[in-house]
Structure 1
Amino acid sequence: MLSENEINRVLTVTAHPDDVDFAAAGSIARFVDRGVEVVYCVVTDGDAGGFDRELDNGGMAELRRTEQTNAAKAVGVTDLRFLGYHDGTVVESLDLRRDIARVIRQVRPDLVITHTPERNYRFVAPSHPDHRAVGGSTLDAVYPDARNPYAFPELLQQEGLEAWTVREVWLAGGMTPNHHVDVTDTFERKIAALHAHVSQTSHMEGFDDFLRGRFSQLAVDAGFGEGRYAEAFQRVPTA
């Protein structure tokens, strides 16, 4: 497993705008605060989301890209890559694996944070089919695709992207987390990031109370005690 001082560059790969903020914005803010370079890769533009259906799918996609960009600024992230897949239709595929492997080779991260590809039977929200497809494809892109110079040879031959080995993956949204991050000191920035997703969260009554309840319970589960907040992941060594 990577120690904290071995993590100098982090790539998140998520399905929709706002996914990274629900799962990991507190942890991301902690990384940024200690000088870690963080890059967001968002597979879809979230064009099937939102509650203002006066916007067509194209207008919603543009809005949600802007919201994600603003949310990233709340935790100090300025490098975002949008892959442009259609919201609600993502499946595990060679094309998706190649596109994620490309970003991995460009960014060359020590750590990748993504969705668990497994269904969560205790809390259904993380089990959106786009989440599971992105999680599975990201794991395949980490191993074997990004590290294998003979996988997707066009990445090397046409784009000059050398193979890269990611040393660890953190999976969010699963039933069996084995790593908790105390995000008490960055939790207000996590809330600010989520509020930036106006199209997704502005209609939710008691939204802040829901967030505080959910992430404080994770802190209790982790043994951090009352009055703390935590995010939970499953650590997967990959090197």
Structure 2
Amino acid sequence: MSGQPLPTPAEVAATHGWRRVLAFGAHPDDLDFGAAATVAGLTRAGVEVTYCVMTDGDAGGFEAEDHHTITTRRQQEQRDAAALLGVRDVEFLGERDGYLEPTHAVIEQVVARMRRHRPDAVLAMHPERDWDRLQRSHPDHLAVGEAVVRASYPAVENPFAYPRLAEQGLEAYRLPWLVLYGGPAARTNLVVDVTGAEQDKLRALRHHVSQHPDVPRMEAFVLRGMAELHRRWSGPGAAAGEDAPERYAEGFHLVAVNDASTISGF
């Protein structure tokens, strides 16, 4: 759009001072669909990334006879995909797949993890429905977004919210940045050049084999979307022509929760 080069994950982290990122998804594979290439770029830049998957994924998969083992399988798929990207740890909240709601019990768990990890940025699914592609707006996805946004302000920074957390030594702190993925295109205000990490994203997604009945079609869809996003946002100054190499991007809604302009409570 601007004709200026899109920032890389390393440049975004350096600009905003991100050293630790806590990333939330609804199901195993959501984070890898939404942000795997960016995560790969962040970890290569020395950013510590932790995944938190909020449901057990038990409603996924296609083979009824193996469904009693799907939760264990999907958790291992997520651990393997995360390790490939340089993610140090994967946590699972264990909520039931398809039944996630932004209740206070769930929000308290999110706040607990934020206070424990004290990240510079929280990556999460968007709480707004995308009417252009409804599949991005699974009810669990929206519930993750709503729970994380409610946790980000005011609960995580309010010492009187969920008082038993403070009793456990999890003190309040002010989250600087919220980075939302999977939302409506109109909300996108940060597009990151992930060229060179697009294959990392595909390799991560291949680990979620239980969810992909047609891997080649899935991969083509993912690459096409990343390339189209880069072309749309890089503007007229981008390289063009048949011989120009394809470039790839991932997009987010970046929200400053607490920055230099923030006054407590406003």
> Which TM class, normalised by the smaller chain length?
over 0.9
Over alpha carbons, which structure has the higher Rg? 2
One-letter code of the match for 1:233? F
Indicate if the aligned counterparts of 1:16 and 1:43 stay in contact, CA closer than 8 A: yes
Given the alignment of the two structures, is residue 123 of structure 1 paired with residue 123 of structure 2, yes or no?
no
Establish whether residue 228 from structure 1 lines up as the match of residue 247 from structure 2.
Answer: yes
Report if the CA contact (8 A) 1:195-1:202 is conserved: no
Aligned residue number for residue 77 of structure 1: 87
Which of 23, 26, 31 does residue 34 from structure 2 map onto? Answer: 23
**Structure 2 counterpart of 1:114, from 119, 124, 131:** 124
Q: Which residue of 1 aligns with 2:3?
A: none
Please give the TM-score of this superposition, normalised by the length of structure 2.
0.86
Q: 1:203, CA displacement in angstroms?
A: 3.4
How far residue 136 of structure 1 moved from its aligned partner, in angstroms, is 0.4
Q: Which residue of 2 aligns with 1:164?
A: 173
- Paired residues, number: 236
CA distance in 2, matches of 1:10, 1:148: 20
Q: Which amino acid aligns with 2:53?
A: V
Alpha carbons of 1:20 and 1:3: their partners in 2 closer, same or farther (altered >3 Å)? closer
| Cα-to-partner distance string for 1:111-142 (whole Å, 9 max, x where unaligned) | 01111111101111210000001100101111
1:150 — aligned with what?
A: 160
Residue type at the aligned position of 2:248 = Y
**Partner SS for 1:54:** helix
1:237 pairs with 249, 256, 261, which one? 256
Gaps of 5+ in 1: none
- Contact 2:40 / 2:200 at 8 angstroms: preserved in 1? yes
TM-score (normalizing by structure 1): 0.95
Structure 2: 5+ residue runs without aligned partners? 1-10, 241-245, 259-266
Cα 1:76–1:193 change in 2 (3 A) is same
2:191, 2:123 → 1: CA distance? 13
The one-character-per-residue Cα deviations of 1:148-174 (angstroms, maximum 9, x if unpaired) are: 1110000011x1111121111111111
Counterpart mapping for 1:1-239 below 5 A: 4-5=13-14, 6-57=17-68, 59-157=69-167, 159-175=168-184, 176=186, 177-223=188-234, 225=238, 227-239=246-258
Cα gap change, 1:3/1:203 in structure 2, threshold over 3 Å: closer, same or farther?
closer
Percent identity over the alignment?
A: 39
Moved over 6 A (4+): none
